[in-house]
Structure 1
Amino acid sequence: MMSFATAPSTEKNWFGHPRGLSILFLTEMWEMFSFFGMRAILVYYMTKHLDMDQEYASLVYGAYAAFVYFTPVFGGMIADRWLGKTRAVVIGGSAMALGHFMMSSEALFYPALCMIALGNGLFLPSLASQIEGLYRDGDVRSKSAYNIYYVGINLGGFLAPLVCGTLGEAYGWHWGFAAAGFGMLLSLVIYLSGRRYLPPEPARGVDARAARPPMDRAARDRFALLIGIAAIVVIFRGAYEQNGNTIALWADTGIDRQLASGWVIPMTWFQSINSLAVFAFTPLLVARWTRLARRGISTPLLGRMAFGAAIVAASYVALGLVAAWSEARGVRASWVWLFAWFIVFTIGELYILPTGLALFGRMAPEGFRATSIATWFFAGFFGNLLAGGLGTLWSFVTHGWFFALIGAVAGVSAILLYMLSRRLGDVEVHAAAAAKVVLAR
């Protein structure tokens, strides 16, 4: 596989990795600040400010989140074939910033959501697909690069509810949306300032044929396998994406957020626990996987993903028991339960989502990396549609049964990933072997 890493980006390192990873890390951190900041207050804005009923707000939330993951499919193709990654990032980021500022007007609510989703389609795959090009073939650091990048995503996710959520609750939702817009602008400034540390643009259009191999059978087999994995992840995301939808609603109506001092925890702050747990547990998990690798023990990536989905399923079932107990007694559950749920939920997330992103990045055929990353995000499109549909049940069943149902959905994805892992073993080895067979012919 060809590597686009340049000498300067591999010889001059920050924190043991190419400087370009730090640029991508910070760029994505502030982009996620804008995304999660807007998402943290979106449901509250619709139900409390726009007076939408819960079922309709859930569908709007699910549809928006779905198209955020749908547009990268075409955005990745456009970046690979015509625009190039740099132009795609700049155009996409500018559109997203504009969309966040448009949210300050009620009349522009739906156009603003569309603007953010379209901009994200160009930005998201074009940024993440540059990670692999920072490393030469065989560089062992590339295996942990996606986990480090994922920390950047969650650093932005941690800060966003604290800043945008607090501004929205205390001073008005429009101030929260404006803060998200400024975060997106800062993301673009960082990216353009550090562009020299990133991989050069590969050839596109007519010239691309000479720079990358054609889509042969091995490449098609890889994409078919990735699409199969993405289909299972759709089911998982139907459960996972409730954390910004029905979980946010439960934090408002089902949780006792008052502390002993009489101070009430802002409901949007709970969205930061997820990211806080990412910081705490990512180094521990990476260290554990590194120790196992040094001892010659390699955990198949699909098996790791199945384990993560199972943890998420168990967390929802446990939350269902808590909700059922509190409903039966006519009281609100302690905020401690929701805090504990986010911790367990995040541990499961770390086993599946960054692992899946790494899998799609490392298995991508040369010249199609942005398209491959977009395929991973495409699972989020159908997953969020499923999550939005499931969220409409929130008002029709007890919260205990609702969370149990969501746990069952995550459990189905865990079983399917485990079955696929048992069938294929190490999916990277399987893909490499398939490519060698085709080349031998």
Structure 2
Amino acid sequence: MIPAREKNWFGHPRGLSVLFLTEMWEMFSFFGMRALLVYYMTKHLDLDQQYASLIYGAYAAFVYFTPVFGGMVADRWLGKRNAVMIGGATMAAGHFMMASEPLFYPALATIALGNGLFLPSLASQIEGLYRDGDPRSKSAYNIYYVGVNLGAFLAPLICGTLGEAYGWHWGFAAAGIGMLLSLVIYLAGARYLPPEPERGAEARAARPPVDRAVIDRFALLLGVAAIVVVFRGAYEQVGNTIALWIDQDVDRELASGWAIPMTWFQSINSVVVFAFTPLLVARWARLAQRGVETPLLGRMAFGAAIVGGSYLMLAVLSAWCEAHGVRAHWGWLAAWFVLMTTGELYILPVGLALFGRMAPEGFRATSIATWFFAGFFGNLLAGALGTLWSRLGHAWFFALIAAVAGVSAALLYMLGRRLGDVESHGTAGAAMALAR
């Protein structure tokens, strides 16, 4: 154990702050580019909406596909630190390439490849910051997830504003600078991070045997990942068809002659995360004090149901607006973001915690990568569903997306009822990442 790990910032190991800030600026770059992507393709490159949605979905899918192999490479050969540094530098290069139109497709591929090394290798270092049984680990993933959303909050305001007001390439360049800041912070704080685990033959010899319990845990995680694919088909519409809806059907006028920029609404998601995370943590803590345990799979099912309800609200709103020939007031959009993000808090950080805590020793980056792999197929599904935006009426489209989220909620609930004992045994003796 390294002495630096004993030093604390805000009651947690300093390494968590390093990981928090590293991920914050990485997410700034990712969401900054994502906030501009659909608008850049449809308004600047003059791509057809259906084709742009497919490109968006394919890019977002490969962002979650490459971590599967990146996690394996980090666990077996490169190590987490080398993987983060190589991946981060590759992503920064991709973001700067976005400033050149001829490099548009190579830039997307470069960002996705770098992300494959960066994403699982960073998040999988959280567990190594705490001793076994350390109660502070209960809220570690919550804090990390706030870092993710702080970057996501700043990105549309800075990159989006630069892109809309001064030119798309300025917004992409700002995303590249954010990625460089992420690397600088990671390198400066490396001494506070957990030591690299052994790799190769020594690591394989130290791993616990793959017995029935380990197989059951992996089976549960694969089942959850498969259902999350369905959920992401609905959730990932945020940067795709929701962005188009904001442009086409939302009255964004705030004062005479001034309308709220389209990309700013993407920041509402992060504001809700900041405001609601402490409330949810406090609620789960009170339940735990009364001896009421809330299974993670149950929370995830509840979150998916809330997201489904939010899209159902948009379906009703769109039907009313179409019937009366008016555009939706931006306040309804803000309300949708609040409801949808509440559901997100019950499923996405909880799922990340489940995969991080249940991973057998020596497979942590690979396990985290499996969680993100669900995003690959989920974004492909989201892109395919997005092509229906121009074919269906908007009310029917949102009703379809609500049904997709509802199916994922039902499947998560049934999986929890059937395999909940595997979850409880797999996390016995350890905190569940989100404070109870």
- Same fold, TM-score > 0.5, yes or no: yes
> How far did residue 224 of structure 1 move?
1.5
Alignment partner of 1:133 out of 128, 133, 136: 128
Structure 1 window deviating more from structure 2 (207-216 vs 370-379): it is: 207-216
Structure 1 residue 191, shift from structure 2 partner: 0.3
2:389 aligns to what SS in structure 1?
A: helix
The answer on 1:190 being equivalent to 2:185 is: yes
* 1:400-415 alignment, distance < 5 Å: 400-415=395-410
Q: Distance between the aligned counterparts of 1:178 and 1:8, measured in 2?
A: 35
Tell me if 1:150 matches 2:145.
yes
Superposed counterparts of 1:14-53, under 5 Å = 14-53=9-48
Deviation of the 1:214 alpha carbon: 4.1
**Counterparts of 1:266 and 1:56, CA distance in 2:** 24
Shift of 1:7: 4.2
Residues 116-144 of structure 1: CA deviation (Å, up to 9, x unaligned): 00000000000000001111111122121
Which whole-Å CA distance do the structure 2 matches of 1:184 and 1:354 have between them? Answer: 22
Q: CA deviation at 1:430?
A: 3.4
Counterparts of 1:207-246 in structure 2, within 5 Å, are 207-246=202-241
Q: 1:112 deviation in Å?
A: 0.3
Shift of 1:409: 0.1
Query: Which residue matches 2:58?
Result: 63
Query: TM-score scaled by structure 1?
Result: 0.95
Alignment deviations for residues 320-376 of structure 1 (CA, whole Å, 9 cap, x no partner): 111111111111100000000000000000000000000000000001000000000
List alignment gaps of at least 5 residues for structure 2. 429-436
Structure 2: distance between partners of 1:207 and 1:96: 31
AA in 1 matched with 2:300: M
The question of whether the paired residues in 1 share the 8 Å contact of 2:62 and 2:112 is answered with yes
- What is the rounded CA distance, in whole Å, between the counterparts of 1:312 and 1:426 in structure 2? 26
Deviation at 1:54, TM superposition (A): 0.4
The farther-off stretch of 217-226 and 98-107 is 217-226
Pairing 1:284-433 to 2, within 5 Å after superposition: 284-425=279-420, 427-431=422-426
Other structure's SS at 2:259 match: coil
Q: Is the 8 A contact 2:357 2:427 kept in 1?
A: no
Structure 2 residue 211 is matched with structure 1 residue 252: no
Q: Partner letter of residue 79 of structure 2?
A: G
Aligned-pair Cα RMSD in Å: 1.1
Q: How many residues align?
A: 428
- State how 1:264-275 maps to structure 2 within 5 Å: 264-275=259-270
Contact 1:61–1:388 at 8 Å: present in 2 too?
yes
Deviation at 1:261, TM superposition (A): 4.1
CA contact (8 A) 1:34 1:181 kept: yes
Q: Which moved more, 1:303-312 or 1:131-140?
A: 131-140
Please report how far the alpha carbon of residue 318 of structure 1 lies from its aligned counterpart in structure 2 after TM superposition: 0.5
- Three-state SS of the structure 1 residue aligned to 2:258 is coil
Cα distance in 1 between the residues matched to 2:212 and 2:29: 40
Matches of 1:210 and 1:254 in 2, distance apart?
A: 59
TM-score under structure 2 normalisation? Answer: 0.96
Determine what percentage of the aligned residue pairs are the same residue. 82
Distance in 2 between residues matched to 1:82 and 1:108, nearest whole Å: 31
